[in-house]
Structure 1
Amino acid sequence: MEQPFFDNARAMWRLFNGEPPSTTYFLDASFYKKMMDAFQIGEYYFFIFNFSTIEFDYISAEVYNILGYRDNEVTARQILEAIHPDDREHFLRFEQDYGKFIATLPREKINKYKLRYDFRIRHKNGKYRRILHQTMIIDHDDRDFLHSICVHTDITFLKKHNIPQFAIVGYDGEPSYYFKDFYPVKRCDSVFELSEREQEVLECLLLGKSSREIAELFFVSQHTVNTHRKHILAKTGCRNIQELMTKHQRLE
C-alpha cells in the first residue's frame, strides 16, 4: 500500500531534525508582513514551519484569501494534501535536495539562501491555484534545522504551464543555483530515438522554456517547434510535458 503523501514529507523533514523543540519560535508578524507587502507580485500568505513538530507555529490570516481556510483551522497536513497529485513528486524532490544542499553549508551561511519553486494547490472550493513557494531557514542549532519562514504567493495569473521552476537563491554575495545546475538534462536521443534537434528542443522544454522562446533561440517558427514537441511526446509515449519531465527524471 502506498504511503500517504504527508507521511512521506514528514519522514523527509525528520532527516533534518530529530528531537522535539524546547521552545516555539516567536516573531513580529507585522514586521515581516510590511516587508513582504513591498515585494510580493500577488496575493500571498506566510507561515513559520516547525521541523520538529512538522506543523505551523504561525500562519497569516491571508491564507483564507488564497485557499479558503481560516488561519486557526488549517494544518500542515491540509496544505500538503492539497498539493496537486502530479506536483507531489517534484515537491518532495525539491525539498529534499534543498535540505541536502543547506546541510553542506557552514552554519553561518544557512540563512543566506532561500528555496524557490512552484506547484498547484487545491482551494477549499476544489479549484486549483498555482503557488510560488519560497522558504528560508531562520532558526537552527549546530545540528538541526528548527524553523523556516515560507511565503506562498498566488501566481495563477502569471503562469499557465505545468513545468516546475526551481532555484536556490543566494544573498550577500552567495551564488544562486537553478534547475539546470541541480538536474542536468540527460540525453534521451539514444533511449527514445530522438533527432539531434528534438533532443535540443527537449532540453529547452525541461528547462521551462516556451515554444516562442525556443523558436527565437533556434531561429525557426513557433509552428516548427510545436511540431518537434508533438514528435517528442509521441516518441516518448507521454501525453504532456509534465509527464515527460517525470519520465526523464526516472531515467536519471
Structure 2
Amino acid sequence: MRKLKKYQALFKKINQVSLSYLFAMDYYRNEYFFVSDKIKRKLGVRFCSHEALLQSFQLHPSDHLIVDSICRARRFICSQAIEERKKYRLVNNFRICNESMQYMRVYVQHSILEMDKRGNIWLSLRKVDLDPDQEANKPALSFLQHVDNNEIIYRIHGNEGNDSISEREREVLELISEGYVSKEIAERLFISEYTVNNHRKSILKKLNANNASEAIKKAVKVGIIR
C-alpha cells in the first residue's frame, strides 16, 4: 500500500506537467490505481476502471498483432533472470476507435514498476501519447527493447494498406453489403459458391467480426468499402 501511494503521488505530479496519459496497473487487484484525468476529455472515456477502459476502445481490425505482441513480450520477460525483468520496455503504435467512433493512432509504452518476490509482475505503467502522424492506413508497429543498451529484442510490423483484405474479398464484401447472397455473388463474380463462402470466412477472421453485419460496419469504418 505504501508503494502504491508513493507512485500515485509521483504520477499526480508528472500528470500536471506532462502531455502524456499515464495508466498504472495493479495486477494483483486487476485494476488501475492511477489514470490521468485528462484522458477522459481527450479520448472520450467516461470511466476509468480496467474493464471500462477495455470496453471504451476498439482496436483497428488490422492491429490485433498488438495483443499477440503483449503476450509474446510477457513470455520473453518471464523467461529472463528476475533481476533483468524490469529492464525491458514494450512499445506499441496502433489505431484505436473511441466512444465517438473515431480512429486515433497512439503510442503506448509498457514498463514494469514492481515485481513480487517470485518475479511476477505486480505494478506496471502504460504511457500513452497521441501519434503526431495520424495516417489512417499506416500499419501497426510493436517492438520490445532493453532499456539499458537499447537492444531491440523483436520488432513486428502490420500489413500495409487496407487491412490485408484482398481485392477479391473486398468485392465479395461489397456485394454482401448490397444484399446479395452467396449464390448470387458467385454468379456475378464467376466463381463457385464454395469459394464465396471461403471468402466470407476469411473476411470475418481478418476483420475480427462475428457476422457479416459486423464485418460490413467495420469495413465501412476503416474505408475498405463505402
Q: What TM-score does the superposition give when structure 2 sets the normalisation length?
A: 0.61
Which of 76, 81, 85 is 1:106 aligned to?
A: 81
Matched-pair contact (CA < 8 Å) for 1:114–1:170 = yes
Q: Aligned letter for 2:74?
A: G
Residues 208 and 156 of structure 1: CA distance in aligned 2, closer, same or farther (over 3 Å): farther
* Corresponding residue for residue 10 of structure 1: none
Gaps of 5+ in 2: 171-201, 207-226
Matched-pair contact (CA < 8 Å) for 2:27–2:122 = yes
CA distance in 2 between counterparts of 1:25 and 1:88 reads: 32
Q: What TM-score does the superposition give when structure 1 sets the normalisation length?
A: 0.55
Q: Does 1:84 align with 2:63?
A: no
1:185-204 paired onto structure 2 within 5 Å: none
1:1-252 paired onto structure 2 within 5 Å: 25-26=4-5, 27=7, 28-33=10-15, 37=18, 43-69=19-45, 73-81=47-55, 82-84=57-59, 86=61, 89-141=64-116, 142-155=118-131, 157-173=133-149, 175-179=151-155, 233-234=166-167, 237=168, 239=170
Moved more, 51-60 or 22-31: 22-31
Gaps of 5+ in 1: 1-21, 38-42, 181-205, 211-228, 248-252
Please say which structure displays the higher CA radius of gyration. 2
CA distance in 1 between counterparts of 2:105 and 2:33 reads: 24
Matched-pair contact (CA < 8 Å) for 1:129–1:156 = no
- Percent identity, aligned pairs only? 17
CA distance in 2 between counterparts of 1:65 and 1:169 reads: 31
Greater strand proportion: 2
Per-residue deviation, 1:177 = 2.6
Residues 87 and 45 of structure 1: CA distance in aligned 2, closer, same or farther (over 3 Å): farther
Aligned alpha-carbon RMSD (Å):
3.4
Residues 155 and 44 of structure 1: CA distance in aligned 2, closer, same or farther (over 3 Å): same
